Structure formats: structure tokens, C-alpha cells
Amino acid sequence: MKYDVKKMMMNGLVFPAVGIGAVIGIWAILSQSAAPDLPSPLRIWQESKLYVLEPFTYRGELDQGIGLFTWLSLKMVLKGYALALLIGTPTGFILGSSKLFTKMFDPIFQILRPVSPLAWYPLGLVLFSQARNNTSELAALFTIAMCAMWPTVINTAVGVRAIPQDYLNVARVLKLSPTKRLFKILVPAALPYMFTGYRLSLGLSWLVIVAIEMLSGRPGVGGFLWQEYSSLIYPHIILCIITIGVVGFVLDRLMSVVEANVNHILNLPALIQRGLAAIFARRQLEVSHAVS
Amino acid sequence: MPFLELQNVSKGYGSEISRTDVLHDINLTVERGEFVAIVGYSGAGKTTLISMIAGLLKPDHGTVKLNGAVITEPGPDRALVFQNYSLLPWLSVFENILLAVEQVFPQWPRPKHLAHTEQYMAMVNLSPARNKKPSELSGGMRQRVSVARGLAMDPQVLLMDEPLGALDALTRATLQDEIENIWERDKKTVVLITNDVDEGILLADRIIPLSAGPGATLGPAVTVDLARPRDRKAINHEPRFKEIRNEIITYLLGPGKRSGLPTSVGMKAQKPPVPNLKPVDLDARKFSLFRGGRKNVEAAV
Ligand SMILES: Nc1ncnc2c1ncn2[C@@H]1O[C@H](COP(=O)(O)OP(=O)(O)OP(=O)(O)O)[C@@H](O)[C@H]1O
Ligand SMILES: [Mg+2]
């Protein structure tokens, strides 16, 4: 296959660059005319330079390079997200496999699902008020989990319900044990749906952490944004918005790649097993040679 | 005591009001080691029938017994070769067979599992495709995996639901020969569902027509008293072969064509079913892609 390099350059670089250029242009014009309070692109750059060009410099808890802030937020997101998956996946499996469970809990889930992170966070603070120094962290993790697990729960449930009867019949004829049935049939069959849920949950986690940081003043991209608003340094608000967008976009892309390669992920254990078996077989051969 | 026995078995789908029996008053006995073929119209209820023997479905009335015990659930003692293959798409050819082998022979050491799987995969000539996923296989290859999986389970009864339905005539013939060889070797009890009367006669000890549904029931069984091993070419010229063939087709096109239930208003509107029987030129089929197959062809040329 021959790649059309010119076309790829146009689509991947030139057109987006033109679009970004246009937006910056309109912005510059707006900041000079209709919206005088909007910092101009040039001012944003001048004021943000320090944070972007030295992204990992630590000058104080709420005065760090943007890379450090992003890292702080990401760490929280990953913990909260892991919690969301840990709770959401089994819940989704039960929801998908039990009609009774669905009848009992689906209404509750439907009511809890649209609750805003801003509403969960205070409850989290109350719940974890006993923990002396990390109440706010636990409350934040709780909030991320409560908000971000729903796509995982629902997609997993849909995936489990969509498993063709044929596969379940195979499990029945082979008399697979419940555990084997789960890991040999249900999980692999539902995996593509689960990963769609995982991707959406990650996006939500990122959305939630920014809100929580703004509410709590925890150091991170959101906390920085709120602090700079309070200190009237408006260009940094834009810097934060752009950072949040870029990070969210990158996370989504990463998960899309994972999602598209679910089948290969499933193959990994088999590949490893095969590799180990080959090594093992060779060793045995060597041993038997040594003996004879 | 018969080995496998169905007594007055009826089965229908749907809720109370709209319910009509798909199968009505089925009686069948199969002796140990017997090879029985059931031929019938598409949609008559063949899959329903074999699913009840497998234990995947429960009859509404009547009982299905194996070795005198009522069948209540599926189990690996009755391996089922599914009509739609039912391979697990995330497992390779080898792994699909291996899963069944591991499950049926948990006491074996791993090397024995692997060797056993290998053997049956080779039997259906799929060793070169061992690491392929079902989505990368042709329909016929999938069917062969499914047959290999069933055979590898070494069941008390092998249930095959149109196992060769999706195959071209050549591959079909090859696998028929293979099934015959395997049966000759282990004399397993086999129930074969097929839409090909010739296939039934070639393979079975007894061939039984299933009438059209709804309310399908088994017609008179015909014993296939042709000497084994049967050569598909020679058999074609035997008068007895033609007689059996005639008997079955006459039933299916005659009494077996009508629904077993009294005609009700809803059923009058139904089109008469089309028999799902394929006349095939038997002479064109002796072509084995398996062991020594090429030689046969060359010799013929
Ligand atoms: N799960 C089901 N629910 C409702 N009706 C069903 C169900 N399964 C089968 N049927 C009906 O029962 C009848 C028999 O179906 P079955 O699959 O047993 O036919 P078959 O003889 O195997 O057909 P074919 O040769 O096409 O495979 C059909 O009319 C079908 O519509
Ligand atoms: Mg069928």
C-alpha cells in the first residue's frame, strides 16, 4: 500500500493548524474589541510562559509548573478511576446477569447516575471526616468513583446481556464451573462493551477531578485555575482550560487505542503462556539430554 | 433397557395462548453403539429435538432418558455438535478444542490434554490453522472445529445437528467418510440430524424421518441394512439403497409433509413447506482431502 503523504500532511497538520490559527485570530480580534476583559492570546502566552516552559518546577504548593499540576490531578484521577472500575465492573456483571438484581437496583442507579460531583463531594467529606489528614483526598476519590463508575456499570451490564445464547450453551454442555464460566465465557464475550465503559469512565473521572479541585482548593489543574481566578490572574484560567482539554483528549485517545485492541489484550495471557511453555519445553529437553 | 429413550415427548415455544407444539408425541429408542440419523424439513424442530436430548431444553411432556436416568441438564457425556458451530470467537482453533478436553478430562496431566487436542485437530485436518480465530476460518473449517470438539470429548452419545450442513459437496463427502471411520473405530452411540437423506443412509444404522411442523413427529424408521464399510460409489447402485431412499422420501413428501396437528385457522395461511432435500450426484464425491485423498484423485484421472 502506498501512503499519500501529501494528503496525510494536509489532513493531519495543515488543516488543523489553519483552524487553530483562525480561532486564535478571532480571539485576538475579540479581545481587542468586543470583549476587553478577555486576555489576548499574546498576553496569555507571556503570562503562562513560565508555567509551560518550566512545567516541572516547584515554587510552592499552589505555584507549580503546569506539568506538576497535571501530574497531581492525574494521580488522583487514576486512583479514583481504579476505584470506579473495581466497583463498577462487578456491579455491571451482576446487573447484567440477574433480572432480580436489575429490578431491585436499576431505579436507584438511574437516580444516582445524574447526580453532580459537586453534590457527592460534601457527602464524602462527611463520610471520611474521621480520617484526620486525608479527608479531602478520600472524599475526592469517593466522588470520582461515585460519578465515573456508571458508564462502566451500564456498558458491562449491556455487554453481559448481549452474550449470545450459543456461548452460554457451550458453557452448559461443557459443565463449566461458575468461575470458569465467568472467566472463559462471560468476561471475554463482554470485554468490548466493558472497554467502551472504561473509556467513558476515564473521561468522566477527569471531568470530576477538575470540579473537585476547584471546590476543595486541592493542588492540581483545577485548584490552580480557581486560585488564579481568585488572584485575578485571568490568563492562567485559559492556560488551565487548554491543559484540561489536551489531557482529556490524550486520555480518550489512549483508551480508544486500548479499546480497539481488546482482542490482542485477550491474547496476551495465551502468548505469554505459549512463550513460557516453549521455554519450559526447551529446558526439559536440556534436562533430558543432560540425564542421557 | 434401551440406552437412549424418548417417551411421548412434546415441546412447544411461546406463551400459553399462542403456544403450539413444535414437536408432538416423539418416541425414539437408540441402542448403545447405534448410529441413528433423523432427516426432516427445515424448521420442523430437529434442533429442538436434539437440544432436548442434550438437556439444553426440557420437554413439556414426556421424558428423555439416558441409561435409564431422566436427563435434566446438559453434560459432557452427551457432546453436541451445534448447528451454528458455537465456537468461542476469542479462542483459537486449538484452544476451542482444548477447553472441551480440559473440561471433560480434568484428571489428565497437561501434556495429555495437549496431545489429545492435537490428535483431533489433525483428524479434521486443521493443524495448519491451529492458531487461527474462528473469524479467520471458512464456514466449513468452523464446522470441522466444531465436529473435532465434539469427538474429542469422547462422549457416551455424540449428538450432531446438521454438522455438515454448510459444507460444499466435496468437503462434505470427506467428512462423512471421516465420521464413518471414527464410528467404525469406537462404535459410539450417535444421533445425527441431517437434511440429506443420502448422508443419513450412508452413515446410519437406522434412518428416521421427522414430519413437517408444527406438531412434527417421527415417521416410521427404516433400518439401513447395507453392509459396512459402505462405499459411497458402490452403494449408489445397490437396489436396497434406492429402496430406503424411496421409502424416506415418499414419507416426507406424503404423510410427513402435513403438519401433525389438526389444521387451525392460523395454520391454513401457511405455505406448504419446501422439502429440504438435495439430490446429489454421488459419483462425483469420492474425493478425500484427507489421508491419501490426492492419490485417489490422481488415480481417477
Ligand atoms: N427459542 C424459540 N422460541 C420460539 N420459537 C422457536 C424457538 N426455537 C425454535 N422455534 C421454532 O420452532 C420450530 C422448530 O425450530 P428448530 O430450530 O428446532 O427447527 P430445525 O428443524 O432445526 O430447522 P433447521 O433445519 O432450519 O435447522 C421453528 O418453527 C422455530 O420457529
Ligand atoms: Mg436446526
ipTM of this model?
0.80
Percent of chain A topping pLDDT 90: 50
Closest listed ligand to the CA of B40: 1
φ and ψ at B227, to 5 degrees? Answer: -65, 145
CA–CA distance, A77 with A90 (Å, rounded to integer): 20
Nearest CB to A266 within list B84, B90, B103: B90
- pLDDT, residue B186, reads 80
The alpha carbon of residue A166 is apart from the nearest alpha carbon of chain B, in Å, by 5
Residue B38 contacts residue B210 (beta carbons within 8 Å): yes
| Averaged pLDDT for residues A29-51 | 84
Lining ligand 1 with CB less than 6 A are B 13, 22, 40, 42-48, 83, 195, 213
3 state DSSP class of B85: coil
The whole-angstrom distance between residue B274's C-alpha and the CA centroid of its chain comes to: 20
In a domain, B236, yes or no: yes
- pLDDT, residue B297, reads 39
- pLDDT, residue B266, reads 41
- Per-residue pLDDT of A63-72, as tens digits, reads 788 888 899 9
Residues 6+ apart with CB under 8 A from B88: A167, A170, A184, A185, A188, B95, B96, B99, B134
Does residue A262 register a pLDDT over 90?
no
Buried b (16+ CB within 10 A) or exposed e, A238-265: bbbeebbeebeeebbeebeeebeebeee
Residue B125 contacts residue B148 (beta carbons within 8 Å): no
In a domain, B131, yes or no: yes
Domain span at residue B150 reads: 4-253
The predicted model scores a pTM of 0.79
Through-space distance between the first and last CA atoms of chain A, rounded to whole angstroms: 53
Cα→Cα distances B270→A95, B41, B213, B277, Å: 41, 15, 11, 20
Kindly determine whether residue A173 and residue B95, on different chains, have CB atoms separated by under 8 Å: no
CA–CA distance, B265 with B216 (Å, rounded to integer): 18
Residue B96 contacts residue B87 (beta carbons within 8 Å): yes
| Distance of CA B276 from the midpoint of ligand 2 (Å) | 12
CA–CA distance, B251 with B25 (Å, rounded to integer): 18
Nearest Cα residue to B38 out of B275, B222, B242, B247? B222
In a domain, B235, yes or no: yes
- pLDDT, residue A33, reads 85
In a domain, B24, yes or no: yes
Fold (topology level) of A39-285 = MetI-like fold (1.10.3720)
- Cβ pairs A/B, distance under 8 A: 47
In a domain, B108, yes or no: yes
- pLDDT, residue A111, reads 94
Name the pairing type of β-strands B157-161 and B189-194: parallel
The alpha carbon of residue B65 is apart from the nearest alpha carbon of chain A, in Å, by 17
Kindly determine whether residue A174 and residue B104, on different chains, have CB atoms separated by under 8 Å: yes
Through-space distance between the first and last CA atoms of chain B, rounded to whole angstroms: 51
| Averaged pLDDT for residues A3-7 | 79
Does residue A287 register a pLDDT over 70?
no
In a domain, B155, yes or no: yes
Across chain B, which has 301 residues, the per-10-residue mean pLDDT values are 92 82 92 94 92 94 93 91 91 95 94 94 90 90 91 92 85 85 86 93 94 88 90 88 92 81 46 52 43 40 36
- pLDDT, residue B263, reads 47
Q: In this structure, what is the dihedral angle of CA atoms B14, B19, B24, B30, given to the nearest 10 degrees?
A: 10
The whole-angstrom distance between residue B299's C-alpha and the CA centroid of its chain comes to: 32
Domain count for chain B, please give it.
1
- pLDDT, residue A1, reads 54
| CATH classification of the domain holding B223 | 3.40.50.300
Query: H-type helices in chain B, by residue range?
Result: 46-54, 93-104, 110-123, 139-152, 169-186, 197-203, 232-235, 239-253, 265-268, 293-300
